């Protein structure tokens, strides 16, 4: 009787552990049917409670986007060692986890993704000089690594969302040389900008001087003795009405214009 009870208890424990399971949020399951066709690659099991026959097995995949970080040393175009740190975002393609499990398995990160990231990084960076990776071509290199990796892992049912170059470490002497070169280029651009600005200012002054000269020429050619005398008379009348004017002498000087003397 005790043996029979023990068998029932063990059977209950086995059924509890293998028959009733819960798939958590962000997960999907693919079922291996031991006696009816093996792995069912088409039917996926979503989050929630499921009942599975004890002779079958459910493989559960986390399908949320995850981040990986990879540090490695690569050779540049001129043969120098460069230390690079990459981060990448990935997840299994949701409706293809049955095929992923059949072809690769749950350890797809180490078996497929990381080797492909490393291979693409070596190949792409090997086409560039260190200073290009350090400054001018960093984004282009990053995009090229991403495109090459995404294409290769997509065939293995893995989705690559992004690859970012987080850090580039060059030999100290090379890094200092690149920084000096960049600083000199910046100073050269700044000097050219100042020269261009001063050249524009000189042209502006020349144009303004020419305009003033032309205005004076036109004004001088239009002023006759009659006009000048009329203007002088008008000015005299204005001054005569001023509270500061005291004495007006009319006809003083060769021009015959009035002369104002005295003030408050």
Kindly give the pairing relationship between strand 48-51 and strand 57-62.
Answer: unpaired
- Residues 6+ positions from 192 with CB-CB distance below 8 Å: none
Largest CA distance in the chain: 150
**Which pLDDT value is given to residue 176?**
60
The answer on 37 and 108 residing in a single domain is no
Q: Please give the DSSP secondary-structure letter assigned to residue 77.
A: T
Final residue in a domain of this structure, among 28, 46, 62: 62
- DSSP letter string, 120-141: HHHHHHTTS-HHIIIIITHHHH
**Which pLDDT value is given to residue 30?**
92
**Which pLDDT value is given to residue 168?**
83
The answer on 122 and 200 residing in a single domain is no
The answer on 53 and 89 residing in a single domain is no
Final residue in a domain of this structure, among 20, 43, 62: 62
The answer on 240 and 208 residing in a single domain is no
Tens of pLDDT along the chain (264 residues) come to 667 666 665 665 555 556 788 889 999 999 998 888 888 888 888 888 888 888 889 999 999 999 999 999 888 888 888 889 999 999 999 999 999 999 999 999 999 999 999 999 999 999 988 878 776 788 899 999 999 999 999 999 999 999 999 988 876 666 566 566 666 566 666 656 676 777 777 777 778 777 777 776 776 666 566 665 666 666 666 666 666 545 555 555 555 555 554 555
**Which pLDDT value is given to residue 205?**
77
The answer on 138 and 92 residing in a single domain is yes
The answer on 70 and 155 residing in a single domain is yes
Q: Is 18 helix (H, G, I), strand (E, B) or coil?
A: helix
The answer on 41 and 24 residing in a single domain is yes
The structural domain count of the chain equals: 4
Contact 54, 21 (CB under 8 A): no
Query: Among 53, 58, 49, which Cα is nearest to 25's?
Result: 49
The answer on 90 and 141 residing in a single domain is yes
User: Which residues span the domain enclosing 213?
Assistant: 174-222
**Which pLDDT value is given to residue 189?**
61
The answer on 146 and 85 residing in a single domain is yes
**Which pLDDT value is given to residue 69?**
94
For residue 82, the domain's CATH number is: 3.30.479.30
The answer on 162 and 103 residing in a single domain is yes
Final residue in a domain of this structure, among 170, 189, 204: 170
**Which pLDDT value is given to residue 53?**
84
**Which pLDDT value is given to residue 255?**
53
Q: How far is CA 209 from CA 43, 200, 226, 247, in A?
A: 85, 14, 29, 40
Query: Among 76, 86, 69, which Cα is nearest to 175's?
Result: 76
**Which pLDDT value is given to residue 42?**
86
**Which pLDDT value is given to residue 29?**
92
Structure tokens at 77: 């175009």
The answer on 200 and 104 residing in a single domain is no
Q: Whole-prediction pTM value? A: 0.60
**Which pLDDT value is given to residue 118?**
95
The answer on 130 and 46 residing in a single domain is no
**Which pLDDT value is given to residue 204?**
77
- DSSP letter string, the chain: -HHHHHHHHHHHHHHHHHHEEEEPTTEEEEEEETTTTEEEEEEEE-SEEEE--TTSEEEEEE-S-EEEEEEEEEE-TTS-EEEEEEEEEEEE-GGGHHHHHHHT-TTHIIIIIHHHHHHHHHHHHTTS-HHIIIIITHHHHHHHHHHHHHHHHHTTTEEEEEEEEEEEE--HHHHHHHHHHHHHHHHHHHHHHHHHHHHHHHHHHHHHHHHHHHHHHHHHHH--HHHHHHHHHHHHHHHHTSTT--EEETT-STT---EEE---
């Amino acid at each position: 009787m005790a043996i029979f009870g023990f068998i029932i208890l063990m059977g209950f424990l086995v059924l509890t552990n293998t028959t009733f399971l819960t798939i958590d949020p962000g997960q999907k399951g693919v079922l291996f049917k031991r006696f009816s066709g093996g792995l069912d690659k088409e039917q996926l099991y979503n989050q929630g409670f499921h009942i599975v026959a004890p002779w079958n097995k459910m493989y559960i995949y986390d399908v949320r986007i995850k981040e990986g970080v990879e540090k490695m040393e690569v050779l540049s175009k001129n043969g120098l060692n460069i230390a690079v740190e990459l981060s990448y975002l990935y997840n299994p393609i949701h409706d293809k986890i049955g095929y992923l499990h059949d072809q690769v398995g749950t350890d797809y990160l180490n078996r497929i993704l990381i080797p492909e990231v490393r291979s693409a990084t070596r190949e792409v960076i090997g086409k560039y000089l260190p200073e290009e990776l350090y400054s001018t071509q960093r984004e282009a290199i990053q995009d090229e690594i991403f495109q090459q990796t995404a294409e290769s892992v997509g065939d293995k049912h893995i989705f690559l969302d992004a690859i970012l170059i987080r850090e580039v470490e060059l030999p100290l002497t090379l890094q200092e040389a690149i920084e000096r070169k960049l600083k000199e280029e910046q100073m050269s651009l700044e000097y050219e900008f100042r020269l261009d600005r001063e050249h524009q200012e000189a042209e502006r002054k020349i144009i303004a001087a020419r305009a003033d000269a032309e205005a004076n020429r036109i004004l001088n050619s239009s002023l006759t003795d009659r006009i000048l005398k009329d203007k002088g008379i008008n000015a005299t009348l204005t001054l005569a009405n001023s509270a500061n004017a005291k004495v007006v002498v009319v006809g003083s000087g060769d021009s015959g214009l009035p002369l104002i003397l005295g003030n408050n």
